[in-house]
Every structure is written in structure tokens, then in C-alpha cells.
Chain A
Amino acid sequence: MESLTMESFREIPAGGKPVKRIYVALMLWFVGRAIQAAARVDQAVREEFAALPDEFTFSLGVLPRGPAMIVGKDEEGRVRYRGWRPAGQRIDLRMKIKNLEGALLMFTFQESTAVATARNRLIVDGEVPAACAIVRILDRVEVYLLPKIIAKLAVKRYPDWPWEEKIGNRIRIYAGAILGCR
């Protein structure tokens, strides 16, 4: 029986999903920089951040080992993308996606942030009102970044904004995210 048991037994070493990790890392990097740009361009995003405590910082990452993005307010209240390494940073709100596949569902816009939350794909470590504010900010940024047909999948309710405002802000946010203007 011992030998029979060993014949049917093997160890599965931890593998990896490098392509998916790179995709999610790129998306987080771009969304992080887009949030920074949107805080300058969009009135509602600015107000959401203004209502959060001074030097408030949040991270959105994937368990168990990233990738992640860190965004926070500096001493002057300006919103800054603070990179992808949470280590050594004071973080007030940590939003953690439970696994890479869950992150991929979110960042390929098969599931909106609200649906992903309802399906228990996210762990929130911090104040719930702040987490709700961040989800609202993410929703607005996704509306700017994505064409309507995709953004409708990514957000709970697609907003009815004046098109000239939306296009103008979209160009400025894209420029800010790509060029990294401060």
C-alpha cells in the first residue's frame, strides 16, 4: 500500500503567470498615473480627494505578492502616484484583490469594481467610507480612460456627461498619465 500511495502522489510546485502579471502591473501603473492626472482635471475627483484626510494614501494590489499601485495626497494636498511598492510607505487604506485571476477579470473589464466587490474578490483593510470614495474615483477614471462600449462593462452606471467636457478631460488625463505631468 505504501508503494501504491507513492505512485499516485506528486508535488505540484508553485508556478507563475508572468504574462498576466505584467498585464495587471501595466494596468495598475497606468490607472495610478491616470488618477493623479484626473485629480487635477476633474472637479468631482478633486472633491472626493479633498474630503479624505490629510496625506491620505491608498494601495490597490493583488495578493499574495503584487503587483500594486499606491496613490496618496502629499503635504500640500496634491494627489500623487507613489509607485508600485507598498513597502516603507504609510498606507491608510489597502484594497487587495484576492488573486491574479480576479484582478484580470477587473482589468479586462469583464467585471466592474462593484460586481467584483459583491463577488468577494476584494479585501479592504481600512475605513469603509474611504474605500467607497476610492471606488467612485476609480469608476470616474475608467469612464475617462475607456471607450463607452467597454466602460459600460467596467462601471456600475455609465454617467451622462456633456461630450465636450468628457473628450477634453479624456485628452488631458491621457496626456497626464503618459507624460507623468505633475
Chain B
Amino acid sequence: MFQSAHTFVFCSPAKVLSGNRALENLPVELAGMDACRPLILTTAGLAARGMERIMAAAFADSQLTVGFFAGVPPCPDRELVRALYGLYRDRGHDSLIALGGGPVLTVAKALNIAVSGEPEDLEAAAAGTLESKELRPLTAIPNLDLSGYEMTRYADLASLSLTAPTAIPRLLVLDHRTVPAEDRKTTAAGALLVLTQAVEALLHPGRNHLTDAYAYGATRFIMENLRMVIKNPSDRRRRLALANAAFFAQTAFDNLCGGKIFCLGMAISRRCAISPGLIMGLLIPHGLLMEMDREETPGKDLFLAVGGAEDYALTGEGIGIRKTVDRFVELLLELQSLIPDYPRSIRDIGLKKSDLEELPGAADEITGRGTLDLSEVRYLLDKAWETRF
């Protein structure tokens, strides 16, 4: 039954342009935001893959001169933000375009906070007190190398965890040219991270109809497209579907918060320097089994998202979660068969038994976390330690 709406707040400030030639709309969209001199931030890796040429083509005929910075490292720090602050001011830029996921958007959000006010505003954002300050236009053009925080209010800049609702990019552009094929492991890791955010949003006690709609869309996109993208990375339509799924899931995540699978996955990832999505893929089945006995768990709704409408119609009451777990294990085994070095257990990634004690505490310090029951996190960790897929 579709319950009548209870009291809720939902925020998604981003305008989304997705599909064929979406990139060419940038000049007119920037003009709509009173911006005419953007600074594009990206990584050297993406620049080497021809992104400068693609962006130049998107701005050709626009009469705009754009700045192009291709030096965002994998682990950016405040020093870089300070240097870019000077560059932005000296060259008279008025907006930012983040071309790429993860560190690029981290730098773009931090820089945007600094250039929209004072560099000291970063401290306010780290303290969570930068609530409603209007920032300069920020456009996100993410790829499939995801951190999970791209379209959220969060950014982890070295030791500084920034939180600012207005830091969410105002414009999201998804064009198949800027979502290039990544290696299989990176694609799988990004998709499993998105899937974790979506599934945890569907299980979240504070969920509402809008977070459900976003999480449902993200889950369906991943379940219908991930296998095919891994088998055929050149399938640009399906790659774009994964990029859309990331936006859906991150918006739901931003309106709720991370659950125990997300936080534990992030904590293990930091400890072992491995993509968090790969770890979350190993944790999801255990996390869902823990939800099975709870009366309030929307098992059938979850299976509708994971299994699709046809299989949902054939599923009886009370077995939705079990079937969902089966689907996730099937997906995991298939990914492991397609990606030779995909870990089969959290023991394979260099984690030691002695690390298990500290990890629940580390999970509780992850940016964007909700209220975690540490005994549950510990139980989840123990189960994952014992299991080999």
C-alpha cells in the first residue's frame, strides 16, 4: 500500500543534464547562473584521455575563454586549494567546473567555499556551521571513478571533513564523452558503492517517498546495467546509466546518511588502501541478513528494487530479504568471475585480525554517517571475516 506522506524534508538542488550532447549546453547554463569565465578542474589522467579537447569543443562558438587546470592529485590537500584560490582570483574566474569524480569534486567544493567568501570559511565548513551561505556556481561532470560523495554536501580534504549543504553542485552534466570506460575493477567498485548507498537508503528508518524513488532508480540502473558494462565497457549508453545511478543514490544518501555497511566499508578502505566499493560488495549480503529478522524491514520493497517488477510479482510475503541476499551473492560471484583480482573475503585485502577491534570505532568517524550501533558493526565485521565468497 502506498502510505500517505508523513512529515519530511527532501533537498536536491542540482539541475541535471544527461545524454547526447549534454556538454554543449554548458555555456548557456553558465550564462543562466551569471557566470562567463569558468575554471575547469580535472586530473592529469583525465586530461591525457582527451578531456581538454572535449571541453574545448563544448565551449567552441560560445565566445567564452575557460581556464583548464589538470593537476588534481589522488589525495589533494589544503596547499593545493590555497594555490588554486590565488589562481582563481588572479585570472578573474567566476565559477568552477569539476571534471571527474572523487578528488576533483573534493577540491572543487573546498575551493568554491573559499572563493565564495574567505579561505577561513573552510574551518566553518569543517565545524559544520556553514549552513546557508550562498556559493558560486559549481558544475559537476563526474566519471565512474567515484568516491560516493560527489553530489553530496560532504568533502574530505586531507584531515578536514567539510560539510556544507550549499556545496552540492548546482549543475550536473552527464555526457557519454565525459564518462569514459574505466577498467573493470574501478567500474565494479564505483557501482557497488552506489548500490550500497541506494540499498541503505531503502532500509533507512528516516526514508521518505522521494528518497525511495531515488534509491529505487539507482538500484534498478545498477542491477540492469552493471554486468553488461563489465562485459562490454564500450557500451556508452549503459555507462551513462551507471553515472545517473550514482547521482540518484548520492542524493538519497545526502538526504539520509550512511549506514553500517557504507561506514564500515569506508573505514576498511582507508585502512587497507583499496576501493571502498569492493569491500562494500563483500559486506552487503551480511548487512542484509542482519536486517532480515526486523519487523520494520521493507523486505519486499527492497526486492522490487533489486529483482525488478516481474520477479517481485512472483515473490511471496516474508521472503523478499532472503531473495535480495541471493541476488547480491549471485552478482558478487559473477563479478568475481569476470574480474580475476576481485577479493573473495576481507581477509584478502591485507586486513589483520588485530584490526577488527579498531574498525568499528573508525567506522563511527566516517563523514556522512548516521547513528551507528557499534555492536552491530562489530557483528557485521565478524561475519564478513568468517566468510569467503
Q: What residues of chain A have their CB less than 8 Å away from a CB belonging to chain B?
A: 1-2, 4-17, 21, 63-65, 98-102, 105, 119-120, 123
Contacts and interface: CB of A to CB of B under 8 A. Distances in A.
B80 A12 contact: no
A87 to B, nearest CB: 17
Interface in B168-193: none
Nearest to B70: A8
Contacts of B69: 5, 8-9
Contact of B28 (A9, A14, A99): A99
Interface string B48-74: 000010011101111111111111000
B83 interface: yes
B interface, size bucket: 35 or more
B24 A100 contact: yes
A2 B84 CA distance: 8
B68 A10 contact: yes
A12 B83 contact: no
Given A11-B67, A99-B61, 4 more contacts: A9-B69, A12-B65, A64-B61, A99-B21
B27 interface: yes
Contacts of A105: 20-21
B386 interface: no
The 5 closest A-B pairs by CB, nearest first: A8-B71, A15-B60, A101-B24, A5-B83, A99-B24
21 contacts: A1-B79, A7-B71, A8-B44, A8-B70, A9-B67, A9-B68, A11-B91, A12-B56, A12-B68, A14-B62, A14-B64, A17-B60, A17-B61, A64-B31, A99-B27, A99-B61, A100-B24, A105-B20, A105-B21, A119-B19, A120-B17
B63 A14 contact: yes
A22 to B, nearest CB: 12
B34 to A, nearest CB: 15
A98 B57 CA distance: 15
A14 B59 CA distance: 6
B75 interface: no
A17 B62 CA distance: 10
B344 to A, nearest CB: 39
Interface of B: 17, 19-21, 24-25, 27-28, 31, 44, 52, 55-57, 59-71, 79-80, 82-84, 86-87, 91
Nearest to A97: B28
A98 B60 contact: no
A13 B27 contact: no
A63 B66 contact: no
B61 A16 contact: yes
Contacts of B83: 1-2, 4-5
Contacts of A2: 83, 86
Contacts of B17: 120
A12 B52 contact: yes
Contacts of A120: 17, 25
Taking each of A1, A64, A99, which has the highest tally of chain B beta carbons within 10 Å of its own beta carbon? A99
B84 to A, nearest CB: 6
A8 B84 CA distance: 11
Contacts of B91: 11
A5 B60 contact: no
Contacts of B31: 64
B67 A4 contact: no
Given A9-B87, A100-B24, A64 B80 contact: no
Contacts of A9: 67-71, 87
B19 to A, nearest CB: 7
Nearest to B53: A12
Contacts of B44: 8
A103 B31 CA distance: 19
Nearest to A119: B19
A30 B21 CA distance: 25
Contacts of B68: 9-12
Given A15-B56, A64-B27, A5 B71 contact: yes
A101 B65 contact: no
Given A8-B44, A15-B56, A98 B61 contact: no
A16 B60 contact: yes
